[in-house]
Amino acid sequence: MTFFNSIFKDIGIDLGTANSVIYFKDRGIVVNEPSVAAMNTKTNHILAVGDDAKKMLGRTPSHISVVRPLVNGVVSDFEMTEEVLRHLLDRPKSHPIISYRRAVLAIPNHLTEVEQKSVEDAALNAGCSKVYLMESPIAAALGAGLPIDIPEASVIVDIGGGTTDIAVISMGGTVISKTLKVAGDRFNEDIIRFVREEFHLAIGESTAEFAKIAVGSAVPLDERMEVLIRGRDMSTGLPREIGIKNNHVRVAIAKSLRFITDAVRETIEETPPELAGDILRQGITLCGGGALLRGLDQLLQKETGVAVRIADDPLLCVARGLGVIIENFDSRRGLLDNPLKPLFINL
């Protein structure tokens, strides 16, 4: 049995729009890289995946295509998703003979059956023998240490790269949930648009993300923050550098933030009365990369009147939740979306 377990491994995969994180049984998180791939279109050869590919965004000649194969948590480019997964799954292998027996994938709520099947097939074709799907908010709540198995409400707001998942969880299941296609990537688009309209400067996605992380905030800050960004002057076509302040970024993303706070309020309003009382006592837990935006917890608390906390290590909550499933598969199997299916059907 020990030899069998040393060859056939179980893994958890958080296949996100922005980053992919892989949890390896008995070893923990072994891969945490951007969901980006670079391909030479002349030779159809994959040049780089993950961090190396992300560095190429907006910096390549015409024959090198840098793509993010997942959009809003959904596979938009099946073949590239498969290639990204295959490359990332090869990295934690200490020996070529090792294979993956079971994989648990986190997916956003409200995916159609076709969208779920595309994610499942990508993992199967990348080398996983059996694939199970799990709702991302439940995995995030589990990774954040929330008591999801008891008859009390746990509210999780997971702001990722492509989607924001809001869910009220009780007894190991989702009572009320919403999935928004407004998250970190939309914030970047907002900043690009604002800088173009306000400063007549064209910037790329990487520069917008840098500004968001460096000085972005959801509420006015006591300290004045500013960072220099560079781009192409839209009047002259020449390079230009400007200073962007935290209040500029706040104004740029205000509309998207309003969309998220309104959705959180609506979710709470639709919650059954008994669970709504629990929310007041338990509060709301924020996770995902968006949770790191300065003052977002304060904004949500002000808008909802409910205490808001940021989970420990919010970027890895989903992956850690998948790890709990992987390490205790038999006892936690009831949280998975698709039960074990027969391999053969006799007609």
Is residue 115 included in any domain, yes or no?
yes
Residues 161 and 310 in one domain: yes
Q: How confident is the model over 208-266, as pLDDT tens digits? A: 999 999 999 999 988 889 999 999 999 999 999 999 999 999 999 999 999 999 999 99
Q: In this structure, what DSSP letter does residue 189 have?
A: H
Whether 258 is in a domain gets the answer no
Task: Give domain status of residue 342, yes or no.
Answer: no
Spatial distance between the Cα atoms of 93 and 116, rounded to a whole number of angstroms: 26
Q: Are strands 19-24 and 8-15 parallel, antiparallel or unpaired?
A: antiparallel
**Whether pTM exceeds 0.85:** yes
pLDDT of residue 116: 84
Q: Specify whether 90 is located in the same domain as 122.
A: yes
For the chain, report the end-to-end CA distance as a whole number of angstroms. Answer: 34
Residue that finishes a domain, picked among 226, 252, 278: 252
Instruction: Return the CATH number at 224.
Output: 3.90.640.10
Say if residue 118 is in the same domain as residue 67: yes
Torsion of CA 324, 35, 39, 41, to 10 degrees: 120
User: 164 and 297 in one domain?
Assistant: yes
Structural domain boundaries, residue 83: 2-139+317-335
Residue with the larger pLDDT of the pair 219 and 124: 219
In a domain, 343, yes or no: no
Alpha-carbon distances, residue 222 vs 7, 246, 310 (angstroms): 55, 11, 20
Same domain, 273 and 196: no
* Token code pair at residue 98: 């090792």
Average pLDDT, the chain: 87
Token pair, residue 10, equals 């179980």
Residues 178 and 200 in one domain: no
Q: How far apart are CA 315 and CA 32, in angstroms?
A: 10
The total domain count for the chain is 3
Q: What is the pLDDT of residues 138-165, one digit of tens each?
A: 999 999 999 988 899 999 999 998 899 9
Radius of gyration (C-alpha) of the chain in whole angstroms? 21
In this structure, the answer to whether residues 132 and 279 fall within a common structural domain is: no
- Write out the two tokens for 247: 């209040």
Of how many residues is the chain composed? 347
Looking at the fold, whether 175 and 189 belong to one and the same domain comes out as no
The verdict on 164 and 206 lying in the same domain is: no
| Nearest partner of 132 among 105, 109, 99, judged by Cα | 105
Q: Which of 252, 281, 297 is the last residue of a domain?
A: 252
252, 281, 300: which is the final residue of a domain? 252
Q: What is the CATH number of the domain that holds 70?
A: 3.30.420.40
* Phi, psi at 139, each rounded to 5°: -60, -40
- DSSP assignment letter at 188: H
